[in-house]
Amino acid sequence: MDGVKHIVAVASGKGGVGKSTITVNLALALAAQGYRVGVLDADIYGPSQAQMLGVKEGVRPQSAEDNKFLPLEAHGLQAMSMAFMVNTREAMVWRGPMVVGAFQQMLTQTKWDNLDFLLIDMPPGTGDIQLTLAQKVPVSGAVIVTTPQDIALLDARKGIEMFRKVNVPVLGVVENMSLYHCEKCGHEAAIFGTGGGDQIAQEYDTMVLGRLPLTLSIRELADSGRPSVVSEPDSSVSRTFADIARQVAQSVSASQSGGPTISFSE
């Protein structure tokens, strides 16, 4: 794609596992490490990146030459979403071909400006959008988001299998809501179970990129349009996202070069 070096899909087999929150914070963590990053919200029916990035309702992208759109900018990221095109208070009652057409238009008609990484916030499932992405553009890799819950792991497996069938490398798994952390008393409880991320990573010969707790602040900051990485850059959550970002960047670089990168220091 013009203006984009690497495309990374952030996906899950089911909804409700925090995939969009992971996407925006991962994008911000990559940007904090000096990369030029964009976010494409591919969830046509339920776009959420506009709110998470603090873009006000009704803001529309400007037109560019060659029948393209200029992405909006927020927190140093370039962004495109269906929420920038329509009234988000109205339901998108569209059949599959219309959804695919809208996704392709955002993907190919957005004038991305020299991005190192374009993160695509995928809709849940393994349907039209996922297949269209794999067929239309070269995807450098996929990050799978899951919770430790057995039901979530069932669907995460399907997501990994789908990307393997279309020859997209799975960079790793992010285990979200791994522990409930009470911000008042500090008590922690594994309310969704334990070991799920390790289990699926071992089963599919990939790795756990990071584990994130179930805390009130992550949800509140994302809802307010100032996600954790920009609001609390020194927090343990932001440090976890920074570590995930480093691993994603290194994995993409290694896969593009055909092997691991080696550096020497004194």
Instruction: Give 187-219 pLDDT, tens digit per residue.
Output: 888 888 888 889 999 999 999 999 999 988 999
Q: The domain containing residue 127 runs over which residues?
A: 4-257
In a domain, 178, yes or no: yes
* 166 labelled binding-site residue: no
Residue 263: its H or E element: none
In a domain, 230, yes or no: yes
Q: How many domains does the chain have?
A: 1
In a domain, 162, yes or no: yes
In a domain, 67, yes or no: yes
| φ/ψ (deg, to 5) at 187 | -65, 140
Residues in the chain: 266
In a domain, 262, yes or no: no
In a domain, 263, yes or no: no
**Whole-number Å distance between alpha carbons of 48 and 124:** 13
* 127 labelled binding-site residue: no
In a domain, 74, yes or no: yes
**Whole-number Å distance between alpha carbons of 32 and 50:** 20
* 15 labelled binding-site residue: yes
Please give the DSSP secondary-structure letter assigned to residue 3: T
* 17 labelled binding-site residue: yes
* 101 labelled binding-site residue: no
**Whole-number Å distance between alpha carbons of 40 and 156:** 21
* 20 labelled binding-site residue: yes
* 58 labelled binding-site residue: no
CATH (domain of 109):
3.40.50.300
CA max distance for the chain:
60
pLDDT tens digit at each of 266 positions of the chain: 899 999 999 998 888 899 999 999 999 999 999 999 999 999 999 899 999 999 999 999 999 888 899 999 999 999 999 999 988 888 888 888 999 999 999 999 999 999 999 999 999 888 899 989 988 899 999 999 999 988 888 889 999 999 999 999 999 999 999 988 787 787 888 888 888 889 999 999 999 999 999 988 999 999 999 999 999 999 999 999 999 999 999 999 887 765 444 444 44
> What pLDDT score does 89 carry?
83
**Whole-number Å distance between alpha carbons of 87 and 60:** 11
* 257 labelled binding-site residue: no
> What pLDDT score does 264 carry?
40
In a domain, 231, yes or no: yes
